[in-house]
Every structure is written in C-alpha cells, then in structure tokens.
Amino acid sequence: MQLYGLKTCDTCRKALKALPTAEFIDVRAQGVPAPVLAAAFARFGQALVNTRSTTWRGLSEEARARDPLALLAEEPTLMKRPLIVAGDEMYLGWDKSVQAALGA
C-alpha cells in the first residue's frame, strides 16, 4: 500500500499513523508517477485537484484552465491528499468512508 501526501499535512500524518504498513511517498520531494496520477484522475476526475489549497489560490486563471494532469504533474502539491493506492483500489482523502474501507 502506498500513501501519497505531504509530510507536513496533518491529514496525511493521521492516515499514516492509522496505516503503519503503508509506504509514504512525499509528493513534494518525489512526485507522483505518471501512471498513478493518470489512474487517479481517471477514477476521481476533477476531485483530484485541491481547489482549496494555497497553491491553487496562487495560480493565475490561465494556469487554472490548463489540463489538470499536466498541472498536477508540474505542481504535485495541488493534489487532494492523501491518495492511497492499495492493490487495484484507490482512495482519496481520509474521511470516515475511506477509514472504514481500509479498516483503520
């Protein structure tokens, strides 16, 4: 199981604490592999882009209108976190439904 997030993100830290066997990948330092990002976008669509983030608010309208996959590849901190990959399954965020699905 891989958990993509930021080491400074409180939600990511909570998820990692509840999933101690998960491999943590810091998206700021390591990025998100293109195949994982494409699969996540296919599954979650626009919900993958965190439009409430400081990074998003700092973007111009022109940048916001770009292809979301290209934008996420360039600015991985724009991704909603955490993105959890468990085998063929993917989970976005750390709400009660994700916690229940992962038995956390």
Q: Which residues are catalytic?
A: 9
- Check whether the bond before 82 is cis (ω within 30° of 0): yes
Whether the Cβ atoms of residue 79 and residue 72 lie closer than 8 Å to each other: yes
Nearest residue to 80 (alpha-carbon basis) of 30, 20, 27, 39 = 27
